Amino acid sequence: MGLNIKKSFKIGKFLRINKNKSGLSVSIGGKNLKVTLNDKDKLTASIPGTGISYDTNIGSGKKPTSAKKRPSSSAKKKPASSAKKPAKKQTP
């Protein structure tokens, strides 16, 4: 387990700006409902204290760069020896 540092600035009654090592986020809301938007275009709506939340990606629809897929082993080219052989002619 690593050490995490988070800094939060409250602006007014319902607006909060949060900064941590992974980025910046803005939270709007209060006691009954909170909506958070982070710098990776992720939107989270939650009801504090209940564990109920909804997450979605907004913006360009692209996944974050850290979620790149690696090519699978089946994507590799097959050797030439496994190429299909021509069909034999059928005799009547």
Question: Model pTM greater than 0.85?
Answer: no
Per-residue pLDDT tens digits for 38-78? 998 999 999 999 999 999 999 765 555 555 555 655 555 55
Query: Does residue 78 belong to any structural domain of this protein?
Result: no
Tell me the residue range of the domain where 5 lies: 1-59
Q: Residue 64: inside a domain, yes or no?
A: no
The reply to whether 36 falls in a domain is: yes
Q: Does residue 80 sit within a domain?
A: no
Q: What pLDDT shows up at residue 79? A: 57
Residue at 69 is within a domain? no
Question: Is there a domain that residue 19 lies in?
Answer: yes
pLDDT score recorded for residue 76: 55
Structure-block tokens of residue 12: 């007014």
Backbone angles phi, psi at 73, to 5 degrees: -65, -25
Would you say how long the chain is, in residues? 92
| Total number of domains constituting the chain | 1
pLDDT score of 84 more than 70: no
In a domain, 77, yes or no: no
Distance, in Å, from the CA atom of 92 to the CA atom of 82, rounded to the nearest integer, reads 30
